[in-house]
Amino acid sequence: MHVLNSESAKDRSRWVAPANGNAIPQIALAARSGAPSIDHLDALEAQSIYILREAFARLKKLALLWSLGKDSNVMIWLARKAFLGRVPFPALHVDTGKKFPEMYAFRDRYGKEWELDLRVEPCPPIETIDPTLPPAARSAARKTEGLKLALAKFGFDGLIAGIRRDEEATRAKERVFSPRGTEGGWDVRDQPPEFWDQFNASPPPGAHLRIHPILHWTEADIWAYTKRENIPIIPLYLAKDGKRYRSLGDADITFPVASAAANIEEILAELEATKVPERSGRALDHETEDAFERLRVAGYL
């Protein structure tokens, strides 16, 4: 594991050659105990790489949304493996200007080290956002509007996003290839079926697809893979003075949780024992019941 404030080292990545054919084994859904196994992580990795290559082959203009957190860092790592060490599409950071300093330092360092085509697009001011939203949701909605502006500017027909089904109930309803309306909206009642890894990769005219390569991963999977691959992390994820961040967002609406986990092994042990939701430190998730769903319908990640 690299930590941002540790000594720099070259990535010890194990690039994988393109798979022969499209037959990727399905991920076993059986319950398991303990940290994810090597075989399980290999299967997750293969599935995600297959999804990334499908998106690249079938869409004309892709971007990967980089939120700087653990999930999108894993996603960039997978993209580098999928395409032999280089990400062949832009990494787009829709920036609220309110992230933690450690997150900006991480972006500046690893954007260069990973040789990303980094595009940083600002979000509109809070005064332009729907005033009927609760305070944290209104702040988060700036990202939705910033993303719409970036889509209009660059004309992307596919956006790769690092969401997971186990994070939040509304995200559990997502598809791997998820169509969005011309305004970026998401209709949960109009989701394409996805059987046997057959994806609908044709966005409606004037619209785009969201592609979710790690939708089938869990929080424990992310940490076990990060440890195995020695992926850099932001130090805020590790406990300091009895607290750490499980999920990172804007500094003014994201809070740490009680924790003594000072390394990834301890994080995995903590996840085995806790019943506290991953997003418990996000103010957004403690507002009105429909706040998050309203954001998602409007195009929030």
Cβ–Cβ under 8 Å, residues 234 and 74: no
Mean pLDDT of 144-163: 91
Tell me the C-alpha distance between 17 and 81, whole Å.
8
Mean pLDDT of 251-280: 89
Query: What pTM did the predictor assign?
Result: 0.80
**β-strand pairing of 243-244 with 177-180:** unpaired
Most trustworthy range by pLDDT among 206-220, 227-241, 246-260: 227-241
Please determine, for residue 10, whether its predicted confidence score (pLDDT) is greater than 50.
no
Q: Minimal CA–CA distance to 137: which of 297, 283, 299?
A: 283
101, two tokens: 């300093």
pLDDT score for 135: 78
The per-residue pLDDT for range 35-67, each reduced to its tens digit, is: 677 799 999 999 999 999 999 998 999 999 999
Mean pLDDT of 201-215: 81
As to burial, measured by CB atoms within 10 angstroms (0-12 exposed, 13-18 middle, 19+ buried), residue 190 is exposed
DSSP for the chain reads --BTTS----------PPPSSS--PPPP-S---SSPPHHHHHHHHHHHHHHHHHHHHH-SSEEEE--SSHHHHHHHHHHHHHTTTS--S-EEEEE-S-B-HHHHHHHHHHHHHTT--EEEEEPPPGGGS-TTS-HHHHHHHHHHHHHHHHHHHH--SEEE----TTT-TTGGG--SEEEE-TTS---TTS-----TT-----PPTT-EEEE-TTTT--HHHHHHHHHHHT--B-GGGS-BTTEE-SS--BTTSB--EE----SHHHHHHHHHH--S-GGGGBGGGGS-TTHHHHHHHHT--
Cα-based distances in Å from 85 to 104, 114, 276, 278, 286: 23, 9, 36, 31, 40
Crossing angle (nearest 10°) for helices 219-229 and 38-58: 90
96, two tokens: 């609220």
Beta bridge partners of 63: 159
Mean pLDDT of 88-99: 96
The per-residue pLDDT for range 67-87, each reduced to its tens digit, is: 999 999 999 999 999 999 999
pLDDT score for 44: 96
Most trustworthy range by pLDDT among 113-122, 156-165, 185-194, 282-291: 113-122
Tell me the C-alpha distance between 58 and 231, whole Å.
28
pLDDT score for 40: 94
Cβ–Cβ under 8 Å, residues 35 and 224: yes
pLDDT score for 179: 82
The amino acid present at 140, given as its one-letter code, is A
pLDDT score for 25: 38
* Sequence-separated (6 or more) residues with CB below 8 Å from residue 59: 157, 158, 201, 203, 209, 211
Tell me the C-alpha distance between 47 and 259, whole Å.
32
Residue that wins the pLDDT comparison between 29 and 191:
191
* Sequence-separated (6 or more) residues with CB below 8 Å from residue 48: 75, 78, 213, 214, 217
Mean pLDDT of 155-159: 92
13, two tokens: 């990545």
pLDDT score for 276: 80
